[in-house]
Structure 1
Amino acid sequence: MVLGLPDIIVVVVFLAVILGTGVYVATREKMTSGNYFLAGRSLSWPLIGASLFAANISTIHLVGLAASGYTDGLVWGNFEWGAPFILIILGLVFAPFYFKNKISTLPEFLERRYSGASRTFLAVMGLFTALMVHIGLSLYAGAVVLEQFFGINIFLSLLVISVIVVIYTVLGGLKSVVMLDAIQSSILLVGAVIMTVFALLELPKHGIHKYTDLVHAVRPGQLDMLQSGDQASGGLTWYAVLLGYPILGIWYWCGDQTIVQRVLGAKSKRDAMTGPVFAGFLKILPVFIMVFPGVLGYVLFKDIIGENSNDTLPVLINQLLPAGLRGLVAAALLAAVMSTVSSALNSSGTLVAIDIFKRIKPNLSGRSQLLIGRVSTLFVMVLAMLWSTQGGKFTSIFEAINTVLSMVSPPIATVFILGVFWKRGTRQAAFSTLVLGFVLGVVVFCINFFKTSGDGIYLIQLIRDIHFLMQAVFLFIICTANFVVVSFLTPPPSPKAISTLTLEKPMSFITKGKLTGYTDPRLLAGLLVVVMAILYLIFG
């Protein structure tokens, strides 16, 4: 598929608006280290929520969710509908601690709660995931999609995307990133909605006039969110989702600097709490406008798509959209790449400047931190571009991401959850858990990735047969057991030292303090839970 002139104009205008807006935001006020890393702590809840949504949705989402909807159905939407519950935890549990303690980075939070060793470990892991997953794989996926969809050379795509993102990220820092995330998330939603509407309008031409007609036209279970037993598509049983997703989600939404950094830049505690809840409402949408179109693709064009599920989105674009609107969807794909990459770049610069250089030299000036942040952003981008060229060696981008998530999430989720909810957790327990979890995660990663080795060994084959979500569950159980045992074997932390870093009681994040009106974050979170319960009752 090659873009026509109207589509090219739309894409060029989009890129010009993004670049122009980014430069404008960067130059309208004096740039300081506080502005660069945390947007001067001036972010309102709508910007935080939109930016959280945009930073999460990558090109991998747009293509992968459509492909998953085509092959397996709505069940993959559980990764989207699981997010609102974890975002509530971010907003009500973690955000108040981050804001109250004026945390600049998540590794800094671990140092205050545990020790400097835990801070260093999390900073290194944050840089690793930003470089390998958020930037490298996202760049590769975006470039491949643009080449396959629109005939744009993959290396040219990498270069253009990287240059534009680097310009507004290096110049404007988090403020530019968040402002542009708001624009990009709007483009994403508009493009996805247009695709869904055109697909729905096409149904009557294929003899589908009501919902029961659609049920008979799809695969068995393709419209079910919750599945079990042998009928579970892709191994996504209801219990694997229920037990496994929260572990991955706690790391991703509550403990990953790339995602949480916009919460750290909130201008008030209410904004820090409400922004994630707003993002939770936005995360309801992808099931309907990203996964469901894949189901419609099966109904409308299965004879064209065949077994090549990754062609679902390009076939939908090619078959349904007129000139001009194709360019809008191309802009949505670019927006998905740029928002994810820019968020990871800014967080990388923050981690390097604050968690590495400032710890080596505590008296480092704000101007020096700003310079280090910008230089390290460029350096990380170059490394990520080099790494992204190797993306073709993976049989599946989803597979690569999932294996990395299974390796990283369990130990980090353990130390964050138990660190806040359990006052007895010690610094020795946290560091040993991070190290043990990382080592076990590397072993699991190697077993999953190098599938040609270890054949015939029962234990290796047993691990490979376990779904990645359940792998994360078992690793989390091991990490939790280690954390509890080591905590009881080592001296407890000083109550005064952790008084502002732990909950008074397990449910005090809900019960403490009077409600402040209809917009109280706790009430909004309760509304979100009710909405999600209704949706699962309808589609489960």
Structure 2
Amino acid sequence: MILSTLDLAIIAFYCTGLIGLGYWVSREKPGHEKNSADYFMASKSLPWWAIGASLIAANISAEQIIGMSGSGYALGLGIAAYEWMAAITLLLVGKYFIPVFLKKNIYTMPQFLEQRFDSRVRLVTAVFWLGVYVLVNLTSVLYLGALAINTITGLAITHCLVFLALFSVAYSIYGGLKAVALTDIIQVVLLVFGGLLVSYLSLDKIADGAGIWSGFQTLLTAVPEKFDLILSPDNPHYMSLPGISVLIGGMWVMNFSYWGFNQYITQRALAAKNLKEAQKGIVFGACLKLLMPLIVVVPGIAAVVLAPELTRPDEAFPEMMKLVPSGLLGIVFAALIAAIASSLSSMTNSISTIFTMDIYKPLINPEASEHRLVIIGRSVAILAMTIAVLIAQPLLGKFDQAFQYIQEFTGFFTPGIVVIFALGIFWKKTTANAALIAAISSAALSLVLKIFWPELPFMDRIGLVFLLCAAIAIIVSLRESTGPHPNAIDLNDINFNTSTSFNLASVAVILILIGLYSTWW
């Protein structure tokens, strides 16, 4: 794919403009020096529209755009369950978890676990998240992003890695979360426009210029098997999406871990002006989630008709990008860069937040000044990105499916994390030892099941390990104590009421999903 001079000019304008915007939105009033609340929590001032847009920008990256389009090519619309079930998860997180986190006035997820359990749980989970964010999430997004740009442009992987790292750090390192969240608005606009444009051109091409509705109807007729939302056991991709489990099984555990207890996602809501603003932002994010399959899955399904001889499914989205004319192609390519860079900047900011607030300040330098905390945060962000650049290709280059590496590794710990938070919030008798044992059991049980029950679908394994870890945590807690834990959360002190607009939007999202699954069951 060859980018024209106009395309390159648009991409250059976007990159320089975003860096300038990042510095502009993160400027401080004269005489005010940026402190830790400004840098890590955006001064607790984020409005709902910034929260919702930033949630999606942090989530959607190369592995979603390229990977989910490839999954759409291979197995069809069923992969959209990851997006659509996430919409309902966001609503539940907004109603039942965010009120608790905001009430506790926390910066990080490990900090909450110390308030609920003890410092051991905070330290263990902080070290775990730092390891996962640097070695798995940051590294994989950087590598898959570089791979996507390499596939489209032919630039060397190393050059792509360095470009993405420098670009994402350049616009976010000075301003912290405020720069990340407010520039994400531009990123999401680009992402939605670029994705919808590729979908439009793909469907219109299928219809020979007769329009997208005609193209969609033709697609339904040509490949009806690609529109099964619930896969049957005889489907060759059943192991990836095991039937009804996408609605009632392990996907819920994966979604709650990601959308409810994941630092680089929840940090946006923690930085809201207030609870109502956080909840409005989460509803906005849930609505955008309904739209995502149009952007990342439909082009993949369209490629089945337009390019049926692709060597690899992940070539589907780049192949459909070839339909975009010069000039507009620069915008679509900028949208791809936007998706990657926003995820990278979100992760580096969360890495710096956890290290600074959960390890450096409490354990290394309790008397650190606000200025010192900001300096440490910036330094850690640069260090994390440098490590990711250095290890990305050696670590992930040997994997045929780097996305599978992410799923397998994080899936070992996901069930235990959800058990810790769910029982910690809603069951007063949960003890610190129970939380630690559940976390350790999650990895151990996942490994045992993977080795001795390999035919068990990945998603079902996560659901089973979650139930086992919950049972273990309950048994340990009951053996240790007969009464509430001293740090138990008083739910009577938490306001779980939501606004009329939140409730109406929630009903609308649920009804839309019922309609979609009823149509393509």
TM category (shorter chain) comes to over 0.9
In 2, Cα distance between equivalents of 1:23 and 1:442: 45
Contact 1:358 1:364 in 2 (8 A): yes
User: Residue 166 of structure 2 corresponds to which residue in structure 1?
Assistant: 163
Matching of residue 154 in structure 1 with residue 157 in structure 2: yes
Q: 2:414 aligned to 386, 393, 409, which one? A: 409
Alignment of structure 1 residues 236-275 onto 2, 5 Å = 236-242=241-247, 243-275=249-281
Matching of residue 432 in structure 1 with residue 437 in structure 2: yes
Cα distance, 1:169 vs. partner? 2.1
The number of aligned residues is 512
User: Residue 512 of structure 2 corresponds to which residue in structure 1?
Assistant: 531
Question: Normalising by structure 1, what TM-score?
Answer: 0.90
In 1, Cα distance between equivalents of 2:482 and 2:53: 40
Q: 1:40 aligned to 19, 40, 43, which one? A: 43
Cα distance, 1:231 vs. partner? 2.5
Q: Rate the CA distance shift 1:335–1:212 in 2: closer, same or farther, 3 A.
A: closer
In 2, Cα distance between equivalents of 1:463 and 1:200: 42
Matching of residue 70 in structure 1 with residue 60 in structure 2: no
In 2, Cα distance between equivalents of 1:96 and 1:6: 48
In 2, Cα distance between equivalents of 1:77 and 1:339: 22
Q: 2:230 aligned to 226, 233, 236, which one? A: 226
User: Residue 450 of structure 1 corresponds to which residue in structure 2?
Assistant: none
Contact 1:75 1:227 in 2 (8 A): yes
Matching of residue 478 in structure 1 with residue 478 in structure 2: no
Contact 1:406 1:472 in 2 (8 A): yes
SS of 1:177's partner is helix
Alignment of structure 1 residues 495-506 onto 2, 5 Å = 497-500=487-490, 503-504=491-492
In 2, Cα distance between equivalents of 1:79 and 1:232: 19
Cα distance, 1:151 vs. partner? 1.7
> Alpha-carbon deviations, 1:407-464, whole Å to 9, x = none?
12010011111112212211221111112223334566xx5xxxxxxxxxxxx3x422
Cα distance, 1:312 vs. partner? 0.9
Matching of residue 314 in structure 1 with residue 324 in structure 2: no
User: Residue 126 of structure 2 corresponds to which residue in structure 1?
Assistant: 123
User: Residue 459 of structure 2 corresponds to which residue in structure 1?
Assistant: 469
SS of 1:284's partner is helix
Contact 1:248 1:405 in 2 (8 A): no
Alignment of structure 1 residues 50-89 onto 2, 5 Å = 50-89=53-92
SS of 1:465's partner is coil
Contact 1:130 1:258 in 2 (8 A): no
Cα distance, 1:325 vs. partner? 1.7
Question: Normalising by structure 2, what TM-score?
Answer: 0.93
In 1, Cα distance between equivalents of 2:56 and 2:383: 26
Q: 2:296 aligned to 267, 290, 293, which one? A: 290
User: Residue 91 of structure 1 corresponds to which residue in structure 2?
Assistant: 94
Contact 1:92 1:522 in 2 (8 A): no
Contact 2:61 2:141 in 1 (8 A): yes
Question: What amino acid maps onto 2:459 in structure 1?
Answer: L
Could you tell me which runs of 5 or more consecutive residues in structure 1 were left unpaired when the two chains were aligned. 448-459
In 2, Cα distance between equivalents of 1:499 and 1:211: 50
Contact 2:117 2:487 in 1 (8 A): no
> Alpha-carbon deviations, 1:344-366, whole Å to 9, x = none?
00000000110001111333221
In 2, Cα distance between equivalents of 1:373 and 1:493: 40
In 1, Cα distance between equivalents of 2:341 and 2:411: 25
SS of 2:110's partner is helix
Q: Rate the CA distance shift 1:101–1:493 in 2: closer, same or farther, 3 A.
A: farther
Cα distance, 1:67 vs. partner? 0.9
Contact 1:134 1:340 in 2 (8 A): no
User: Residue 365 of structure 1 corresponds to which residue in structure 2?
Assistant: 369
User: Residue 21 of structure 1 corresponds to which residue in structure 2?
Assistant: 21
In 1, Cα distance between equivalents of 2:340 and 2:509: 28
User: Residue 343 of structure 2 corresponds to which residue in structure 1?
Assistant: 340
Contact 1:6 1:327 in 2 (8 A): yes
Could you tell me which runs of 5 or more consecutive residues in structure 2 were left unpaired when the two chains were aligned. none
Question: What amino acid maps onto 2:476 in structure 1?
Answer: V
Q: Rate the CA distance shift 1:375–1:402 in 2: closer, same or farther, 3 A.
A: same
Cα distance, 1:528 vs. partner? 2.2
SS of 2:2's partner is coil
Query: Comparing 267-276 with 358-367, which one deviates more in the overlay?
Result: 358-367
SS of 1:363's partner is coil
Question: What amino acid maps onto 2:477 in structure 1?
Answer: S
User: Residue 452 of structure 1 corresponds to which residue in structure 2?
Assistant: none
> Alpha-carbon deviations, 1:134-178, whole Å to 9, x = none?
211111111111111112222111112111211222201000000
Percentage identity across aligned positions? 31
User: Residue 276 of structure 1 corresponds to which residue in structure 2?
Assistant: 282
User: Residue 189 of structure 1 corresponds to which residue in structure 2?
Assistant: 192
In 1, Cα distance between equivalents of 2:230 and 2:518: 10
Cα distance, 1:339 vs. partner? 0.6
Cα distance, 1:494 vs. partner? 4.8
SS of 2:70's partner is helix
Cα distance, 1:281 vs. partner? 0.8
Question: What amino acid maps onto 1:6 in structure 2?
Answer: L
In 1, Cα distance between equivalents of 2:319 and 2:215: 24
In 2, Cα distance between equivalents of 1:493 and 1:467: 38
Question: What amino acid maps onto 1:440 in structure 2?
Answer: L
Query: Comparing 486-495 with 84-93, which one deviates more in the overlay?
Result: 486-495
Matching of residue 299 in structure 1 with residue 305 in structure 2: yes
